[in-house]
A and B are shown apart, each in its own frame.
Chain A
Amino acid sequence: MSRKKDLRQTIQKSSVPLMFVLICAVCIPISGLSPSYLANEVVTRMGRNAFLILSLLIPIMAGMGLNFGMTLGAMAGEIALILVCDWQIVGIPGMVLAMILSVPVSVLLGIFCGKILNMAKGREMITSYIISYFINGIYQLVVLYLMGSVIPIKHTSIKLPRGYGIRNTVSLLSMRQKLDNLIPLKIAGIKIPVATFLVVALLCLIIVWFRRTKLGQDMRAVGQDMEVARDAGIKVERTRIISIVISTVLAGIGMIIYLQNMGNIATYSSHSQIGMFCIAALLVGGASVDKASIGNVFLGIILFHTMFIVAPKAGAVITGDSMIGEYFRVFVSYAVITVALIMYETNKRRNKNRAGKQLETEQNGEGGAS
């Protein structure tokens, strides 16, 4: 009986990935895209997004839910890249410098975010979501008004003609895919960004290692029961802030990797959607609000991005309008997050009701005996 129950539970748990396998299975043949093109795309996107999505894992471990505030890190990464670009530091050294530069910005933003979230315990997600908008305002203030007027920006290719503020797009031609192509490798016509994968693999190792540290253990404890952790002498607030800071720093570095692949920065919009797409991908991989693994990240990228590539084409074939597919994939991204959030909340409530059921059966059992 228990095995049957287990099976049902696993199916229920992996319902979202299964649904995506189904969507992909239907859409791939319809879209008519060649397997090699598809494989190439998925591999590219894997390299591009993996680091960013991995940055979400640690706050989930600390019980702070999906970190919509990862956008903060993305903004820090963008600011660093804009500066490095203006200083004309190119190639891999430019990326390394941008990463180093993004860290202090990310740390500051992370501490801010962590402190606010400590004031809003129990509604971390909506708060981190609003924080991302709030900081976006500050980011615009810095990039649109302070850069060029207070922070020196030299190059007219970056600066707006009016003398201050950054253009809508900043070209990263000098860094474009420098990391991806550092170690060139092609297998069966599929270009593999080996160096990027190595960096991602390193981060995976670090995360695995981190879980085994004292801090990682503390985070798991805080994530499951703040009060018990506090009673045991763990500094709950500090631990939560650290988890957000780590996530923000990783997101900043991830954004730099992401943008080197893209080859340009959309100054005012690159970061705004990144949080949503990363979270959706993670959830598609079978993660939930309180549990996520490295496996979820990779499965999520494969499924979510396959859908992302295929949907517009499939939509165009079916309805004759390419916009339908575009809207469809946006809808799916949002719907996935919605469903995951609903499942999380209903599970929480179901667990609460379980105790009553137990008592009833107990009583009935007793009644039968007497």
Chain B
Amino acid sequence: MDEKNTPLLEMKNIKKDFFGNQVLTDINLTLKEGEVIGLVGENGAGKSTLMKILFGADVIRETGGYAGEIRINGEKADFRSPFDAIASGIGMVHQEFSLIPGFTATENILLNRESKKKNIISEIFSERMDTLDRPEMEQRAMEAIEKMGVKIESKMVISDMPVGHKQFTEIARELSKDQLKLLILDEPTAVLTEKEAEALLESIRGMAKRGIAVIFITHRLKEILSVCDRVAVMRDGCLIQNVPAKETDEVQITKWMVGRNVDVSAGAGKEEAKEKEEGEVILSIDRLWVDMPGETVRDVSLDVIKGEILGIGGLAGQGKLGIPNGIMGLYQAGGTVTFEGKEIPLNDPRKCLDSSFAFVSEDRRGVGLLLDESLEWNIAFPAMQIQNKFLKNYLGGLIKWRDEKAIQEVTQKYIGELAIKCTGSQQKARELSGGNQQKVCLAKAFALEPRLLFVSEPTRGIDVGAKALVLQALKQFNREKGVTVVMVSSELEELRATCDRIAIVSGGRIAQILPASTPSEEFGALMVSQVI
């Protein structure tokens, strides 16, 4: 066994598709002992899918597995579950904390791997009746913390810890596993303060010295350059660059991340855009904060011009989704929002809707639809409730009776206009495909005949054909009815193809607003500019 020559990890020709939708193509990646590799790429570039495959996540198997092969120390690995991966020495620190809030750091570090002492009862019943050996656990936890090189209080309860220490507890947990050879860190610095992040980088260097290989996923390019041996850049499911960190710089990496074969259709209607830039401001947002878990908005000020399509882009978790959700009152928000000169009170969806706003949520199944009701109900409901449409009045308006016929008519109209594939207007929304559900959501918003439409991730999780139709419908709605549209999307190219101007959100703040015709590289740089 010559360990020097066999790499620790070899990934050969990894391919993966989700129901025919190719998300990874021919990924080849090797990693030596003690090597630190930085993995970068836009959201949806395939980073997390790749890591899920490596970690044996259940999702991968449930969706038909993957093609290609993974070798650990030269031996072919086939992980049936994350536990297999852990057994072969792979550790992963996820973005979301996987910690028991009421346990101490020690208890969390050694969760389900506690030191135990035998006793009579455990001999009879099972090992689960062994008592815990607290002193030894304490010692093992301290060892792991020392390995990490960052001091955390081993006896502190997780819920009392600052966020950074929670992150370190997770890392210490991985380090406490003796078999650990490869550690995957998925955006570990996102929740850390600057000082803590620096400490983490120091600890990564320490781990590498001990021979542990690290895959480091982050949007902070500076960190990659300072700690990694090599940088791997992913884009659209392909590994497009894999170079030593010393030979590159931030600008170049950014270019690799976003620079794709630029679509010709981008920046459509440039002249119109110019014209609109000088138009009247219809909506003005001032110092908005929104508490949306995972999409916190911190201090956003933004003007929307009448008649335009404004795009809001940015990386996941940076707060772009929080903006429409906060304004529409679905999450707690603060600041001032002025529409046509009138201030709109926040945290009250009704007031927004009364001011002729409409919102198509990114969470179709959770917020956008009544899954167990008919299409008629889904499309007509908000218009009925807010504008008293589709109602028959009896007894001088005392009784507002649902006008089934009018509802059916309007539903049929939108089914036709948006080409919604369904068995009829009575079909349950649950039974439709993702793309058609999205169209129903649009129809619901169109039926409100709004003057300002927020659309959030309109193409998430739908197939290519439906995507084009949805975007087309939006454009048409904007051009023909003169409705101002604010569209939030994580797909930059989609924004560039649809919008007049694009605002990039980074770190919960607006980084800059640029015309859609600006080259992708510039947007890419903005996206990572204030990442937290």
Render B275-319 as a binary contact track against A, CB cut-off 8 A, 1 for contact. 000000000000101010100101100000000000000000000
Contact B287 A367 (CB under 8 A): yes
Binds A, one of B68-76, B124-132, B192-200: B124-132
Interface size on B, residues (CB 8 A): 29
Contact B130 A366 (CB under 8 A): no
Render B93-116 as a binary contact track against A, CB cut-off 8 A, 1 for contact. 000001111110001000110101
A162 CB–B CB distance under 8 Å:
no
> Shortest distance in angstroms between A157's beta carbon and chain B's nearest beta carbon?
40
How many Å lie between the Cα of A307 and that of B212 in the bound state?
A: 64
A347 CB–B CB distance under 8 Å:
no
Contact A355 B293 (CB under 8 A): yes
How many Å lie between the Cα of A213 and that of B123 in the bound state?
A: 13
- Report A-chain residues with C-beta under 8 Å of the C-beta of B287: 363, 367
Other-chain residue from A214, A353, A360 in contact with B116 (beta carbon distance below 8 A): A214
How many Å lie between the Cα of A96 and that of B114 in the bound state?
A: 36
Render A210-226 as a binary contact track against B, CB cut-off 8 A, 1 for contact. 00111101101100110
Contact A217 B107 (CB under 8 A): yes
B18 CB–A CB distance under 8 Å:
no
How many Å lie between the Cα of A225 and that of B99 in the bound state?
A: 8
Given contacts A225-B101, A233-B112, contact A217 B132 (CB under 8 A): yes
> Shortest distance in angstroms between B103's beta carbon and chain A's nearest beta carbon?
7
A359 CB–B CB distance under 8 Å:
yes
- Report B-chain residues with C-beta under 8 Å of the C-beta of A218: 112, 128
> Shortest distance in angstroms between A304's beta carbon and chain B's nearest beta carbon?
27
A26 CB–B CB distance under 8 Å:
no
Residue of B nearest to A234 (CB): B112
Residue of A nearest to B173 (CB): A232
Contact B128 A224 (CB under 8 A): no
Given contacts A213-B128, A213-B132, contact A359 B100 (CB under 8 A): no
> Shortest distance in angstroms between B186's beta carbon and chain A's nearest beta carbon?
14
How many Å lie between the Cα of A360 and that of B289 in the bound state?
A: 8
B507 CB–A CB distance under 8 Å:
no
Contact A359 B128 (CB under 8 A): no
> Shortest distance in angstroms between B131's beta carbon and chain A's nearest beta carbon?
5
How many Å lie between the Cα of A209 and that of B100 in the bound state?
A: 21
Contact A221 B291 (CB under 8 A): no
- Report A-chain residues with C-beta under 8 Å of the C-beta of B289: 359-360, 363
B332 CB–A CB distance under 8 Å:
yes
- Report B-chain residues with C-beta under 8 Å of the C-beta of A359: 289, 291, 296, 332
Render B422-444 as a binary contact track against A, CB cut-off 8 A, 1 for contact. 00000000000000000000000
How many Å lie between the Cα of A233 and that of B56 in the bound state?
A: 14
- Report B-chain residues with C-beta under 8 Å of the C-beta of A209: 131
Contact A215 B129 (CB under 8 A): yes
- Report B-chain residues with C-beta under 8 Å of the C-beta of A212: 131-132
- Report A-chain residues with C-beta under 8 Å of the C-beta of B132: 212-214, 217
Given contacts A360-B289, A367-B287, contact A221 B111 (CB under 8 A): yes
How many Å lie between the Cα of A227 and that of B296 in the bound state?
A: 24
How many Å lie between the Cα of A172 and that of B287 in the bound state?
A: 76
Given contacts A218-B128, A228-B98, contact A356 B114 (CB under 8 A): no
Render B12-30 as a binary contact track against A, CB cut-off 8 A, 1 for contact. 0000000000000000000
- Report A-chain residues with C-beta under 8 Å of the C-beta of B296: 359
Other-chain residue from B99, B130, B334 in contact with A213 (beta carbon distance below 8 A): B130
Given contacts A212-B132, A213-B128, A363-B289, contact A228 B83 (CB under 8 A): no
Other-chain residue from B83, B122, B332 in contact with A356 (beta carbon distance below 8 A): B332
How many Å lie between the Cα of A232 and that of B293 in the bound state?
A: 24
> Shortest distance in angstroms between B497's beta carbon and chain A's nearest beta carbon?
34
A231 CB–B CB distance under 8 Å:
yes
Other-chain residue from B100, B116, B128 in contact with A229 (beta carbon distance below 8 A): B100
Interface size on A, residues (CB 8 A): 26
Q: Which of B83, B111, B114, B127 has most A Cβ within 10 Å?
A: B111
- Report B-chain residues with C-beta under 8 Å of the C-beta of A355: 291, 293
Contact B114 A214 (CB under 8 A): yes
How many Å lie between the Cα of A127 and that of B268 in the bound state?
A: 59
Contact B102 A224 (CB under 8 A): yes
B65 CB–A CB distance under 8 Å:
no
Contact A356 B291 (CB under 8 A): yes
B149 CB–A CB distance under 8 Å:
no
Residue of A nearest to B122 (CB): A213
How many Å lie between the Cα of A267 and that of B528 in the bound state?
A: 73
Residue of B nearest to A210 (CB): B129
B519 CB–A CB distance under 8 Å:
no
- Report A-chain residues with C-beta under 8 Å of the C-beta of B515: none
How many Å lie between the Cα of A355 and that of B103 in the bound state?
A: 21
How many Å lie between the Cα of A233 and that of B177 in the bound state?
A: 14
Contact B100 A221 (CB under 8 A): yes
Given contacts A215-B128, A363-B298, contact A224 B101 (CB under 8 A): yes
B82 CB–A CB distance under 8 Å:
yes
Q: Which of B98, B114, B122, B293 has most A Cβ within 10 Å?
A: B98
Q: Which of B316-373 contact A (CB under 8 A)?
A: 332, 334
How many Å lie between the Cα of A356 and that of B331 in the bound state?
A: 9
Contact A228 B130 (CB under 8 A): no
> Shortest distance in angstroms between A302's beta carbon and chain B's nearest beta carbon?
28
Contact A217 B291 (CB under 8 A): no
> Shortest distance in angstroms between B56's beta carbon and chain A's nearest beta carbon?
12
How many Å lie between the Cα of A232 and that of B176 in the bound state?
A: 14
Residue of A nearest to B97 (CB): A228
- Report A-chain residues with C-beta under 8 Å of the C-beta of B332: 353, 356, 359-360
Given contacts A224-B101, A228-B100, A360-B289, contact A213 B131 (CB under 8 A): yes
- Report B-chain residues with C-beta under 8 Å of the C-beta of A225: 99-101
Other-chain residue from A221, A353, A363 in contact with B299 (beta carbon distance below 8 A): A363
How many Å lie between the Cα of A318 and that of B116 in the bound state?
A: 60
- Report B-chain residues with C-beta under 8 Å of the C-beta of A220: 100, 102-103
Q: Which of A221, A229, A355, A366 has most B Cβ within 10 Å?
A: A221
Q: Which of B101-159 contact A (CB under 8 A)?
A: 101-103, 107, 111-112, 114, 116, 122, 127-132
Query: Given A212-B132, A221-B112, 10 other A-B contacts at CB below 8 A?
Result: A213-B122, A214-B116, A217-B114, A220-B102, A225-B100, A232-B98, A234-B112, A355-B293, A356-B291, A359-B332
Report 28 cross-chain contacts, Cβ distance below 8 Å, ordered by A residue.
A212-B132, A213-B122, A213-B128, A213-B132, A214-B114, A214-B116, A214-B128, A217-B107, A217-B114, A220-B100, A220-B102, A220-B103, A221-B100, A224-B100, A225-B99, A225-B100, A227-B98, A229-B100, A229-B111, A232-B112, A233-B83, A355-B293, A356-B291, A359-B289, A359-B291, A360-B334, A363-B299, A367-B287
A interface residues (Cβ-Cβ under 8 A, vs B) = 209, 212-215, 217-218, 220-221, 224-225, 227-229, 231-234, 353, 355-356, 359-360, 363, 366-367
Closest 7 CB pairs of A and B: A356-B332, A215-B128, A356-B291, A232-B112, A232-B111, A363-B289, A359-B291
